[in-house]
């Protein structure tokens, strides 16, 4: 196994691993270590069946169903993340951490690319360790103990789900989820602190009025995606990306109108942020 870092802040490509084959316990641990040290990992040339994709996901955590979109009949934890030729909005097309509006947001998410446009459709990732650690001591103290309110109904992201809900939506899905989590969370495995707000889902701060919370959140939203905290991944077919949702945000770029883009996603169960 070889590892190539792709930016100073986060991101690493793993080479020399074939996920179509059964992984040894030692190799699983090596991959997990690279994941924890780099926030997001990428593996090219992985022509995985749904079962093989699920096998790898289970080696890293517990797959769970996405609340709004139906998965495959045989693999309900796998959903299609797609934009069709006639569609203008892409799924999740805004900076975010996945489903922070849940009481137990996911530990991580995986995407496996199936059909990629001839250009565009890259995904940006942002390290929230770096975003927190570069704040002033005074700002860090001020944020300590504050809780952000997350909603699944915030317009910035709900409009990016509309096409998929029309075609693949769950009839049983609630219309809205709302939960609050620490604005600064401590990673349960690394012990490092990370910013845990995002423009897609965070609607306010507990105990503050909208007028009081809006300028603080606006500053954090802008700060946490500074270029020096990010990496950018250009997809190829049969590439797998796996990111740590507890300390990483992502943003799929919507710059390929007229072309189809299809990826398969698995979300892994997480714990309650502290």
The CATH number assigned to the domain holding 186 equals: 3.60.130.10
221 falls within a domain: yes
pLDDT recorded at residue 154: 77
273 falls within a domain: no
Can you tell me the distance from the alpha carbon of 223 to that of 217, in angstroms, rounded to the nearest whole number?
A: 10
> Is this prediction's pTM over 0.85?
yes
Say whether 44 is catalytic: no
Q: Which of 96, 246, 261, 264 does the annotation list as catalytic?
A: 96
Can you tell me the distance from the alpha carbon of 119 to that of 139, in angstroms, rounded to the nearest whole number?
A: 40
pLDDT tens, 16-27? 999 999 999 999
pLDDT under 50 in the chain at which residues? none
pLDDT recorded at residue 88: 87
9 falls within a domain: yes
pLDDT recorded at residue 91: 83
pLDDT recorded at residue 170: 55
Alpha-carbon dihedral 167, 163, 203, 241, rounded to 10 degrees: 90
pLDDT recorded at residue 56: 98
Can you tell me the distance from the alpha carbon of 20 to that of 212, in angstroms, rounded to the nearest whole number?
A: 52
11 falls within a domain: yes
Say whether 163 is catalytic: no
pLDDT recorded at residue 174: 61
User: How many domains, the chain?
Assistant: 1
122 falls within a domain: yes
Can you tell me the distance from the alpha carbon of 245 to that of 257, in angstroms, rounded to the nearest whole number?
A: 28
Say whether 265 is catalytic: yes
Can you tell me the distance from the alpha carbon of 257 to that of 85, in angstroms, rounded to the nearest whole number?
A: 7
pLDDT recorded at residue 166: 64
Sign of the dihedral defined by the CA atoms of residues 208, 176, 269, 199, in that order: negative
> What is residue 127's three-state secondary structure?
strand
274 falls within a domain: no
**Strands 40-43 and 193-195, how do they pair?**
unpaired
100 falls within a domain: yes
Residue 205 sits in which domain range? Answer: 2-268
Q: Which of 246, 250, 261, 264 does the annotation list as catalytic?
A: 250
Can you tell me the distance from the alpha carbon of 147 to that of 184, in angstroms, rounded to the nearest whole number?
A: 8
Say whether 250 is catalytic: yes
């Amino acid at each position: 196994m070889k590892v190539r870092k792709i930016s100073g802040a986060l991101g690493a490509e793993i080479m020399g691993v074939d996920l179509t084959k059964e992984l040894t316990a030692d190799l699983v641990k090596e991959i997990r270590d690279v994941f924890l040290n780099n926030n997001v990992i990428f593996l090219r040339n992985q022509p995985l069946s749904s079962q093989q994709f699920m096998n790898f996901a289970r080696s890293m955590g517990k797959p769970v169903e996405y609340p709004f979109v139906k998965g495959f009949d045989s693999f309900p934890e796998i959903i299609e993340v797609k934009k069709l030729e006639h569609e203008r909005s892409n799924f999740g097309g805004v900076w975010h951490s996945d489903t922070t509006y849940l009481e137990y947001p996911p530990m991580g998410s995986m995407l496996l690319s199936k059909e990629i446009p001839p250009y565009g459709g890259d995904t940006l990732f942002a390290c929230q360790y770096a975003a927190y650690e570069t704040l002033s001591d005074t700002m860090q103290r001020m944020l300590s103990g504050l809780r952000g309110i997350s909603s699944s109904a915030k317009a910035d992201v709900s409009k990016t789900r509309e096409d998929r809900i029309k075609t693949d939506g769950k009839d049983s899905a609630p219309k809205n989820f709302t939960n609050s989590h620490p604005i600064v969370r401590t990673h349960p495995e690394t012990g490092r602190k990370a910013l845990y707000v995002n423009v897609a889902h965070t609607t306010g701060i507990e105990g503050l009025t909208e007028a009081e919370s809006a300028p603080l959140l606006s500053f954090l939203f802008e700060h946490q995606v500074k270029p020096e905290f990010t990496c950018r991944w250009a997809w190829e077919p049969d590439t797998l990306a796996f990111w740590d949702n507890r300390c990483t945000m992502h943003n799929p770029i919507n710059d390929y109108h007229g072309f189809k883009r299809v990826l398969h996603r698995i979300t892994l169960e997480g714990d309650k942020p502290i």
